Structure 1
Amino acid sequence: MYTAVDMPKKQSPKAPLIQKNKKMSVLKSSLSIANTSGDSTWPNSLKDYVERSFAACSTSARKRLEKQLNQIISSAVKNKKLNSINWTIRPLPKACDLEPQPVLSVKRTSVSAGIIDTSDNFDSEERKERRLHRFQKEAEAEAARKEAESSSTMPIPQPPNTADVHNWDADTIVGTCTRLEKSYFRLTSAPDPSQVRPLSVLRNTLELLKRKWVEDNNYTYICSQFKSMRQDLTVQRITNSFTVEVYETHARVALETNDLGEYNQCQTQLKQLYAMGLPGHAMEFLAYRILYFLYTRNKGDINAAMAAMLPSEKQEQAVQHALSVRAAMAAGNYHRFFMLYLATPNMGGYLIDKFIDRERCASLQRMCKAFRPRLSVAVIAKDLAFTKVDDCIKFLAELNIAISQDESPSVDMKLAYPHAVAAMQIYEKVDIKGQIY
């Protein structure tokens, strides 16, 4: 035990000797730098700066340090800034890039010097454990993330009707409801499969609604049922020829009942379905679009639709008729316009009915200028495409135009002109219930 205690006493004088030799080496290097700079009167701060530089430099980098110090001091002497530079805070040269060496502690000369202080070791071990625990958590989180990514890319099981479903994913549902009739309710949460009808049930529902529309003609009920069907198709992402048939049927019923709001919703969806290449009556509804734009007097949309048409589409009967109507209106040829009106294919007549009175008033203005002094009501009825003379008389009476009570009723065209002009002011604004995009 005594031998172990006396050992530090014998080694203690060696530490000052090592420090003294190191300092002498630094001073010698400093003097060599001083001689090259040509200035023997250095400030003490510069001497300390040189000593700190050599103390922080490794043996292998001493030559590079000497060059750098020589450049620094020579530049300071040349610019006469040797005494003005604050050498105490100036950064050391780049050659001093090594970490400072740990200072050797002098061993204690007492008996307690033989006792090892392990508090730092305990702190170090605790830090290592915390660091290891943190790395383990990060590794577990990374593994969980990779597992989630791999599970998200797993193939989703396909249902039996995937050919009818567009963009199938995990959120797509398949209905299980078997009721043919179901009123429309706006969804406020995720759809319940037990309240959604599958494709097979929806096919039977469509046939039922067609029969009920012919028999009962109750549009309020039919519209609610069709909207419910469209909702079931949407939540199940069913896009096929049956989807097109549902929207086409609802659009025709809406036209027949003058419901332009529902018609426009169906027409907008049909445009997207036709763009997907699904079979349907695309040319019929393209003609309806043109006639609707004529009703709204939207020349920009008409020109855009015509520019997008293929030459083969323009030769289709319904489309060709709609384009002829547009040309007659643009040229002011009311004779041609009313002839086309009486020969409108499909259900385009329901759309022309929306603006037929407007065109009759415009045509009546031209007739008042062309025919003087009087014109037979029968001739006016024929030119304005009235099927009955009584209907024409009613139309003229609503415009406050006087009609003679002779055997052959006639109209004074000069007196009728101001009333025809005043009537056109009614049609300056168009009441549009829903726009087509």
Structure 2
Amino acid sequence: MGGNAKWPDALHNYVKRAFARCKGAADQSITQNSLKELITNAIMTNSLWTKNWTAEPLPVLVGDTPAAAMQTKMGMGGPMPGAAGHKFASSPSSSSLQPNQTFIPFKEPSSKKNKTNKRKHDGFEIQEADVQRKNQRRQRFHMTQQELKSLVTPEVDTKKLQVLTQDGDLDLAAMVIKGTSQTVEKEYLRLTSPPHPSTVRPEPVLRKALELVKSKWKKGDHDYIYACSQLKSIRQDCTVQHIKNDFTVSVYETHARVALESGDINEFNQCQTQLHELYEKLIPGEAIEFLAYRILYCVYVSLQAKKGDSNAGQLGMYNVLGMVTPRLRTDPAIAHALAVRQAVAMNDYHRFFKLYVGAPNMAGYLMDVMVPAIRLSALRAMCKAYRPTLPVQYIRDELKLEGKAGKAFIRQAGLAFVKGDKTRVDTKTSNIVWALSNESSLI
């Protein structure tokens, strides 16, 4: 999978510079393996776009001298600063000499043959043993391909990694973790480091995990905390393996629905945001249904923003409405969501509650979180429009107040009853609250 948009330009230039230094197959092999390790670690640590690739040292090749290798590791292309005019001794004894001191060997040469084996280097005598030690030091930089492979982090299966595609582009798919865990149920834990493949479940196991969660949720065997943890762990395993297909869509749709049933609007919003990106990739799913939910969510955010005198939600609503084509407006779910938006914008509580009763799919759960604000707004309008009294039953019918929840709302809303008559509300003395004590807000 190519495309410069997926990789920093500096990284592309770094790869080109690395391969430009190669003089043969051995150099190319070393460079290939070094780049595998480097880019994989950058992906795992989320530093692919933040890393300074221009200053990153190039891989050390077989033909590099110790000095060149050290300069490459330090990111330098020329001589070390301040190195000119200085001479370095190789033997331990000579390294402690002052400039005005003369080197005196511990043992006099025994023959003329030994003299021929001595060499002059920058004014210091170096024995054959010293030369051998220098050669050994030089060999430290001549790492074989097998040694380079052993340096690659164990979290990634390097056998299947390929840094470049046939077109010369970096291959992100080759860097993806391939899970090996066969554990179906797994609690969600926030990642603080790259996961090991043994802790990540492959897609076939994830499909079993999703079906298990759905089955237990329908039977009521576990609560929302369990279901949310399991679904988030499935989402996490999909993310680290870059799984983006119809199964991924199914995971997020399932989690969104479970969150709606449980009143977890924040978790629902996370899911529907990811679904929007997946639908844009033309991955099949219930795109129209969730577009309707997105319209309703923007209505809810706008209602919350009004309490704090904020314009939050307006931009989101404009973006969503721009996605609604004339053909989509004929869909029942979209038409219902647009009607709800209009009713809220016009403070038409009568129409809102008619739409509330006939909400399609799971739209009723999203309207549930709007209902308290709509009811309070409706009561304020009623108290201004109807004087001096208003029947309690009329309020119940208009605002769909039923059972204990309806009685609790009337008690908390700030309504004042006519003295000696609990069936009628004194609209003049009523002081409607702006929010219920148990009502949550996003703003």
- The 1-side partners of 2:435 and 2:244 are apart by 45
2:243 paired with 1:238: yes
Q: Which residue in the other structure is 1:432 paired with?
A: 442
- Compare CA radii of gyration and give the structure with the larger one: 1
Give the drift of 1:168: 5.1
SS at match of 1:270: helix
Give CA-to-partner distance per residue, 1:236-259, whole Å, 9 cap, x none.
111111110001101111111122
Q: Which residue in the other structure is 1:169 paired with?
A: 173
Q: How many residue pairs were aligned?
A: 282
Give the drift of 1:225: 0.8
The worse-fitting range, judged by mean Cα deviation, of 342-351 and 395-404 is 395-404
2:377 paired with 1:362: yes
Alignment check: 8 A CA contact 2:389 2:418 kept: no
TM-score of the superposition, structure 1-length normalised?
0.59
AA partner of residue 147 (structure 1): Q
Alignment check: 8 A CA contact 1:168 1:237 kept: no
AA partner of residue 289 (structure 1): R
AA partner of residue 336 (structure 2): H
- The 2-side partners of 1:333 and 1:238 are apart by 45
Q: Which residue in the other structure is 2:28 paired with?
A: 147
AA partner of residue 182 (structure 2): T
Percent of aligned positions with the same letter in both sequences? 43
Paired residue for 1:403, among 400, 414, 417? 417
Q: Which residue in the other structure is 2:208 paired with?
A: 204
Alignment check: 8 A CA contact 2:372 2:436 kept: no
Q: Which residue in the other structure is 1:346 paired with?
A: 361
Alignment check: 8 A CA contact 1:377 1:393 kept: no
Going by fraction, where is helix more abundant, 1 or 2?
1
2:428 paired with 1:414: yes
Give the drift of 1:142: 4.0
Q: Say if 1:256 and 1:232 are closer, same or farther in 2 by CA, change over 3 A.
A: same
Structure 1: segments with no counterpart, 5+ residues: 1-137, 160-166
- The 2-side partners of 1:224 and 1:391 are apart by 30
SS at match of 1:277: coil
Q: How does 1:281-320 map to 2 (within 5 A)?
A: 281-297=286-302, 298-320=313-335
2:191 paired with 1:187: yes
Alignment check: 8 A CA contact 1:233 1:243 kept: yes
Structure 2: segments with no counterpart, 5+ residues: 1-17, 37-158, 163-170, 303-312
SS at match of 1:186: coil
SS at match of 2:327: helix
AA partner of residue 442 (structure 2): I
AA partner of residue 178 (structure 1): Q
2:256 paired with 1:251: yes
Paired residue for 2:400, among 363, 378, 385? 385
CA RMSD of aligned residues (A): 3.2
Alignment check: 8 A CA contact 2:387 2:428 kept: yes
Q: Say if 1:408 and 1:201 are closer, same or farther in 2 by CA, change over 3 A.
A: same
Give the drift of 1:321: 0.5
TM-score of the superposition, structure 2-length normalised?
0.58
The worse-fitting range, judged by mean Cα deviation, of 405-414 and 321-330 is 405-414
SS at match of 1:414: coil
